Chain A
Amino acid sequence: MTHNNFWLKKIEISVSEAEKRTGRNAMNMQETYTAYLIETRSVEHTDGQSVLTDSLWRRYSEFELLRNYLLVYYPHIVVPPLPEKRAEFVWHKLSADNMDPDFVERRRIGLENFLLRIASHPILCRDKIFYLFLTQEGNWKETVNETGFQLKADSRLKALNATFRVKNPDKRFTDLKHYSDELQSVISHLLRVRARVADRLYGVYKVHGNYGRVFSEWSAIEKEMGDGLQSAGHHMDVYASSIDDILEDEEHYADQLKEYLFYAEALRAVCRKHELMQYDLEIAAQDLASKKQQCEELATGTVRTFSLKGMTTKLFGQETPEQREARIKVLEEQINEGEQQLKSKNLEGREFVKNAWADIERFKEQKNRDLKEALISYAVMQISMCKKGIQVWTNAKECFSKM
């Protein structure tokens, strides 16, 4: 947790509760939604004690609003993603229902994670709107909208256009875009197969539960074998029911992967912004070049490029020297302006690339750290599952030996 400009001391953030609420929506229709309690604590340096400084309730749509705002104001930052809006990659036992308590619980953790990511980001943590999100319950939505960020947002169409037409994007961004596309594809695939694996594993464990019942029934007709069979059957029941906890733990691993699946989209957003800026720059440069060309032609009288003015001149006669002078003057002014603009756009572009790349490097290290940890915890889960399996079957074997 880094220091925050607004609090001037360490803070702890937690999304501690989730509550079902009913209210009226924009169209005055009744709706049910979940509200999440966000608690902020400031930590005293000296004794490490934390004091609750703020606590308020927010719903998912407000988190979305916060993120959209951040995306617009920090286009060079890889903005942390929100947990999924709807449950996806579910294996059959899990509910796809948004109101399902397990889903709500996992979402609560995901939202907490989201806030912690922002709070630990060196740049994002300083944002005023973020500060207000944590401290100002009422009126926050209005405050955000007043920033006018929606107007500043680049249109998707514009962004798409830029993607196809940009000529010289920075190669690093092109590669990064590729990487984020592939990452998204591979993690989706992984999550889908993992869900199927979980389904099958569930089936294997649960069928073993049937042994419990049949061993019990069989033991009723046996004399010496009865006890051994009966107690072994009990262990089969234990085995069958152990899978529920095992798979619940594995969901946590799936959530960690999902975060990075969504992070891939955030990476792409930064690349898109670069493409847009680069495209803008290229258009401006093109425009400037053509104006310079026009100017030169007017001055020298040669027509190298096709222009409407040139055509009309040919058709309707030469213009007067005064008219030509006037036009040259206008063009020269425009060229000056254009050169200024190009300079600033270039600067902007270079700044963007520098800052974005710094954040991308930070992100890469974070990603490597997090995913390594996720893999380790997954391996630990598998080890625990194997050990439980050995335990149960060893117990059963002992019961069988007493038959």
Chain B
Amino acid sequence: MAGGPPKALPSTGPHSLRDMPHPLAGSSSEEAVGGDSTPSPDLLMARSFGDKDLILPNGGTPAGTSSPASSSSLLNRLQLDDDIDGETRDLFVVVDDPKKHVCTMETYITYRITTKSTRVEFDLPEYSVRRRYQDFDWLRSKLEESQPTHLIPPLPEKFVVKGVVDRFSEEFVETRRKALDKFLKRITDHPVLSFNEYFNIFLTAKDLNIYKKQGIALLTRMGESVKHVTGGYKLRTRPLEFAAIGDYLDTFALKLGTIDRIAQRIIKEEIEYLVELREYGPVYSTWSTLEGELAEPLEGVSACIGNCSTALEELTDDMTEDFLPVLREYILYSDSMKSVLKKRDQVQAEYEAKLEAVALRKEDRPKVPADVEKCQDRMECFNADLKADMERWQNNKRQDFRQLLMGMADKNIQYYEKCLMAWESIIPLLQEKQEAK
């Protein structure tokens, strides 16, 4: 941080991040720390915000824990996440059952979203709605707007090159479905994002278009304020920890890009290998028609090569459908994370600039002006959220890649096992003594 001594947050003395209530939580959070409180239902709807009424409309608190808006409870939740199993989870979301809709104007796919939850924010214990890609896109941009200090998971790519990929093919739809499911599950697992009002609407509303049309502003104060951060301020130096994150993300995205290219190249070589195999096998078959005693062995070899070809095709399909999309997802993820980092920089830059301006004015004021304080709040809140999200992201990334790479190894093992079985099974055939002619 540039400028003078660390600024105390309004109405509290210097505390460690752990102990401090969320700077934007306002007076009600002081009661919320360590205790039970449920904000009034009024907070579920938008209303005009004054300076004091800075409450995140996250739809209230889950039973038994403090306000999700406080950073200490945020960290509590992080710890909770580590031991989340079936019992402690209270929200389950699944994306499945893609269906094609043919209308006069267009053809599109919808997916069924099934939600099961015991949370009070949900009126019913179970919901089932249908959504299309556009709706997911809407949700994501709303989340970005309303939770700008958090890392929002990526969506699979919006546009597909027509003619190259069939948007309605089973493989494409299935790949997309898995990615959309992943997207919602990541939000579900997030202690702050999962309580977002837009998320709730997305999961529960019968007709999403009503909400889209009305353009209900459920923006948080934070969202609103970050939106209005002028981009005119240039940050001098990124704090070390965020610079490290930035560097990490740069290298990470670079390496993933390389891995993506290698994986694509392997698939390409495998497909070309497959093409040759499909010509190779039948030649043995042709040969067997010329022979007497050798006919069966040759035919056996031909069939064997055919089986290996099929196994190879399965491998390349699996890699294309399951491996490549996840890599791409993470590249998109790290891109969006870098933008969040930049936004954070802007917030800090504005704060530092304003602070400097105050210092330069040399006015002897007893208190820091309110708008500088606001900037500081914004910045510290952003930093806290981002750090927490980064940690959770690192954890998830490790799980995801562990699973992804183990999966890749598994698929290759299965391929070789299928081929092994094919070749082992013809050895007895080849060794068989023919009956006397």
Chain A residues at the B interface, C-beta cutoff of 8 Å: 179, 182-183, 186-187, 189-190, 193-194, 196-197, 199-201, 203-204, 207-208, 210-211, 214, 217-218, 221, 224-225, 228, 232, 368, 371-372, 375-376, 378-380, 382-383, 386-387, 389-390, 393-394, 396-397, 400-401, 403
Name the B residues within 8 Å of A403 (CB-CB). 398, 401-402, 405
Asked if residues B409 and A393 are in contact (CB atoms below 8 Å), the reply is: yes
Name B's interface SS.
Answer: helix
Asked if residues A379 and B255 are in contact (CB atoms below 8 Å), the reply is: no
Name the B residues within 8 Å of A221 (CB-CB). 248, 251-252, 255
Q: Mark B232-250, 1 if CB is under 8 A from A, else 0.
A: 0000000000000000100
Asked if residues A376 and B430 are in contact (CB atoms below 8 Å), the reply is: yes
Asked if residues B276 and A394 are in contact (CB atoms below 8 Å), the reply is: no
Chain B residues at the A interface, C-beta cutoff of 8 Å: 248, 251-252, 255, 258-259, 262, 265-266, 269-270, 272-273, 275-277, 279-280, 283-284, 286-287, 290, 293-294, 297-298, 301, 304, 398, 401-402, 405-406, 409-410, 412-413, 415-417, 419-420, 423-424, 426-427, 430-431
Name the A residues within 8 Å of B294 (CB-CB). 368, 371-372
A390 to B411, CA, bound (A): 10
Given the known inter-chain contacts A372-B297, A390-B413, please indicate yes or no for A179 contacting B290, CB distance below 8 A. yes
Q: Which residue of B lies closest to A400 (CB)?
A: B405
Asked if residues B255 and A217 are in contact (CB atoms below 8 Å), the reply is: yes
A186 to B402, CA, bound (A): 48
A9 to B111, CA, bound (A): 84
Name the A residues within 8 Å of B269 (CB-CB). 200, 203-204, 207
Given the known inter-chain contacts A203-B269, A371-B294, please indicate yes or no for A389 contacting B416, CB distance below 8 A. yes
Identify 23 residue pairs between A and B in the complex whose beta-carbon atoms are under 8 Å apart, listed by A's number.
A182-B290, A186-B287, A186-B290, A190-B280, A193-B280, A200-B273, A200-B276, A203-B269, A211-B262, A225-B402, A372-B297, A372-B430, A375-B298, A379-B427, A380-B427, A387-B420, A389-B413, A390-B416, A393-B416, A394-B409, A397-B413, A400-B405, A401-B402
Asked if residues A214 and B262 are in contact (CB atoms below 8 Å), the reply is: yes
A118 to B262, CA, bound (A): 52
Asked if residues A376 and B427 are in contact (CB atoms below 8 Å), the reply is: yes
A225 to B273, CA, bound (A): 33
Q: Which of B272, B283, B398 contacts A186 (CB 8 A)?
A: B283
Q: Which residue of A lies closest to B249 (CB)?
A: A221
Q: Which residue of B lies closest to A178 (CB)?
A: B290
A201 to B309, CA, bound (A): 13
Q: What is the distance, in angstroms, from B122's C-beta to the closest C-beta of chain A?
A: 36
Q: Which of B290, B401, B405, B412 has the most chain A CB within a 10 Å cutoff? A: B405
A150 to B269, CA, bound (A): 52
Asked if residues A207 and B280 are in contact (CB atoms below 8 Å), the reply is: no
Given A372-B293, A390-B416, A400-B409; 12 other pairs, CB 8 A cutoff: A183-B287, A189-B286, A193-B283, A203-B269, A204-B273, A221-B252, A225-B398, A375-B430, A376-B430, A383-B427, A386-B416, A394-B409
